[in-house]
Structure 1
Amino acid sequence: MAKTNPGRFFEDYTVGEVIDHAVPRTISGGERALYHALYPMRHALYSSDEFARDCGLSAAPIDDLAAFHIVFGKTVPDVSLNAVANLGYAEGRWLKPVWQGDTIRSQSEVIGVKQNSNGRTGVVYVRSRGLNQRDEVVMEYARWVMLRKRDMDAPAPETVIPELKKSLEPSDLVIPDGLDFSSYDFTLAGEKHRLSHYEVGETIDHVDGVTIEEAEHMMATRLWQNTSKVHFDITARPDQRLIYGGHVISMARALSFNGLANAQIIAGLNGGAHANPCLAGNTIKAWSEVLDKAETAAPGVGAIRLRLVATKGGAPFELKGPDGKYLPDVLLDLDYWALMPV
């Protein structure tokens, strides 16, 4: 009897199936220290307990994307261990802050399947949730992955493609309990720009760049307990280990501090695409476009919808060619909502 897990293949998924993922994780201050060592993170609300308390929270939570990586990593052995590609995200919401001492586990529901015309691969849609020790959902998101088939002769399942929102409405966003930006300290935050200073359609070049190192990528992927073979095993790819897409997301978010230092909290993920593979040695740069703005019911708190684009050093503000396809230098196209002072 086999004791090891080779991972699932396309024909192993059934719409409606709920998967409880293994290995809960208790969060310590080490996660924050390592996260800030891996990425040049400087957002004040996640760096300082005192700044967070002045904003109405009990302490600085773990970074939103660190929480995302922890939840995501646990899903990999059951969802994307044998993935050809992670194709996209939708309907991501951060519902509760994650604090030091919380224990996080992950659960996914299969919400769609579609075999590709080549008969060798298919797309699986899942909705994943992170839950804390009180079984409260701290975050949720949908994603879809392309997976190989184990048996090429396995019959194609009935196609089910879920209806997913193209973007979240501001009313869909959940504001952390107690959050209050009415006495926000712009000096300590690092920039003076508030929501009213940004205009829809405005683009921001974040200027700085970071060259991706193989060792740091490997450390990050191990930190999130992401077991995808293409990130670790050189024999799983013909050329070079693939950089985890979440590593690119976090690096781009960190670079966005220069120009968006007051976009403190990520509250919603509308969509995202890993446009081209990232490899060690690539230098990541980033730019943003303001897509929308809204007020919230929380005192002094507004919401800003941003497109965050990471490139391999390509010219800022260039995304797609005349054929509608992403330019070769584009690594990431991420659409998200953040909370900032009005």
Structure 2
Amino acid sequence: MTKTNPGRFFEDYRLGETITHAVPRTLSGGERALYHALYPARHALHSSDAFAQRCGLPQSPLDDLIVFHTVFGKTVPDISLNAVANLGYAEGRFLRPVYPGTTLRSVSEVIGLKQNSNGKSGVVWVRTTGLDEADTPVLNYVRWVMVRKSDPDAPAPETTIPDLADHVAPNALTLPDGLTFDRYDTALAGEPHRAADYQIGEIIDHVDGVTVEEAEHMMATRLWQNTAKVHFDATNREDGKRLIYGGHVISLARALSFNGLANAQMILAINAGAHANPCFAGDTVRAWSEVLDKADLAPGLTALRLRLVATKGAPGALRGDDGKYLADVLLDLDYWALMPA
């Protein structure tokens, strides 16, 4: 009798089913240290207990994307082990800060299914919630992923594509309890630019680049306990390449955005996201941002809606005349970030 798990294929999903993902994980300062070793991440609120306490928090929370990757990684054996590609995100909300010592687990609901015209794969939409040890939600988001079929002759499910909001409304953003920027120190944060200094439509070139190394991206993917075959097994793709985990590209771009957005201290929501083109070892990732909107949330606290683009090409270049993403564009991420007003 076979005891190993080959993972789910497209025909194994049922609309409306709830999947409880295995292996809760207790996070510590070790994840923060490794995260900051893998990415040039240095936002002050996630780096310094003293800075966080000056902002009204009990200690420095773990980087928001540590939480995202941990919750995401739990889902991989059930959602994307047999994925062709992770396609996009929507309606992501960070609901409360996560501190070292917190244990996270993940639960997903299948909210959409659509078989591809080739009959060999299909797209699965899931809404995932990350919960702490008290079963309090800390994060939820929707993602969709293209998954292989095991049996090409398996009947196609009825097509259901979820109706997703194009962004999280400002009144749905959650502020951490006690957070205040009344004593915010821009010198320690690294830049003087507050939310009022940014203009809607402004493009920010983050200047720096990082060349992706094979060993680093595989270490990062293992750190998040992401077991998707395409990231490790070079025989899983016809081109013989390991696909870089899309979250690795997100973290690289977010970390690079410090240069120009050092005061964008917390990610409050992920409005939308697309992995426009695959990333492979040897690619040099650069980043630029566009200011899409602003929203005052509380005295001294403003959310900036930002488009973060990871690219191998020029800043500001996103789509061609045909409306499709340029071949150099790796990531197009729309998110809300919290800044001092």
TM range (shorter): over 0.9
Equivalent residue, structure 2, for 1:254: 255
Equivalent residue, structure 1, for 2:105: 105
Equivalent residue, structure 1, for 2:9: 9
Separation of aligned partners in 2, 1:165 and 1:266: 18
Helix, strand or coil at the partner of 1:246: helix
Separation of aligned partners in 1, 2:120 and 2:283: 31
Separation of aligned partners in 1, 2:114 and 2:26: 36
The question of whether the paired residues in 2 share the 8 Å contact of 1:88 and 1:144 is answered with: yes
Deviation for aligned residue 1:169: 1.0
Q: Letter of the aligned partner of 1:222 in structure 2? A: R
* 1:227-242 mapped onto 2 (5 Å cutoff): 227-237=227-237, 238-242=239-243
Q: Deviations over 1:229-283 (max 9, x none)?
A: 0101111123211111100000000000000000000000011111111111111
Helix, strand or coil at the partner of 2:273: strand
Say whether 1:277 aligns with 2:278. yes
Q: Matched residues, percent identical?
A: 72
Gaps of 5+ in 1: none
Equivalent residue, structure 1, for 2:161: 161
Q: Letter of the aligned partner of 1:22 in structure 2? A: A
Helix, strand or coil at the partner of 1:200: coil
Q: Deviations over 1:34-92 (max 9, x none)?
A: 00000011100000000000111000011000110000011000000111111110000
Equivalent residue, structure 2, for 1:61: 61
Say whether 1:322 aligns with 2:321. yes
Separation of aligned partners in 2, 1:213 and 1:160: 39
Q: Deviations over 1:199-237 (max 9, x none)?
A: 000000000111111111111000000000010111112
RMSD: 0.7
Separation of aligned partners in 1, 2:181 and 2:194: 11
Deviation for aligned residue 1:163: 1.1
Say whether 1:332 aligns with 2:302. no
Q: Letter of the aligned partner of 2:156 in structure 1? A: A
Deviation for aligned residue 1:159: 1.3
The question of whether the paired residues in 1 share the 8 Å contact of 2:84 and 2:230 is answered with: no
Separation of aligned partners in 2, 1:208 and 1:115: 40
Equivalent residue, structure 2, for 1:214: 214
In the comparison of the two structures, how many residue pairs are matched? 340
The question of whether the paired residues in 2 share the 8 Å contact of 1:122 and 1:149 is answered with: yes
Helix, strand or coil at the partner of 2:302: strand
Gaps of 5+ in 2: none
Q: Letter of the aligned partner of 1:65 in structure 2? A: L
Equivalent residue, structure 2, for 1:195: 195
Relative to the length of structure 1, the TM-score reads: 0.98
Separation of aligned partners in 2, 1:44 and 1:96: 18
Q: Deviations over 1:11-51 (max 9, x none)?
A: 11111111010111001110000000000111000000000
Q: Letter of the aligned partner of 1:271 in structure 2? A: A
Separation of aligned partners in 1, 2:158 and 2:212: 41
Helix, strand or coil at the partner of 1:296: strand
The question of whether the paired residues in 2 share the 8 Å contact of 1:182 and 1:301 is answered with: no
Q: Deviations over 1:178-211 (max 9, x none)?
A: 1101221001000000011000000000001111
Helix, strand or coil at the partner of 1:289: strand
Equivalent residue, structure 1, for 2:182: 182
The question of whether the paired residues in 1 share the 8 Å contact of 2:73 and 2:224 is answered with: yes
Q: Deviations over 1:274-307 (max 9, x none)?
A: 111111111110000000001002x311100000
Structure 1's consecutive aligned runs of 4 or more residues displaced over 4 angstroms after TM superposition are none
* 1:67-106 mapped onto 2 (5 Å cutoff): 67-106=67-106
Relative to the length of structure 2, the TM-score reads: 0.99
Separation of aligned partners in 2, 1:241 and 1:41: 24
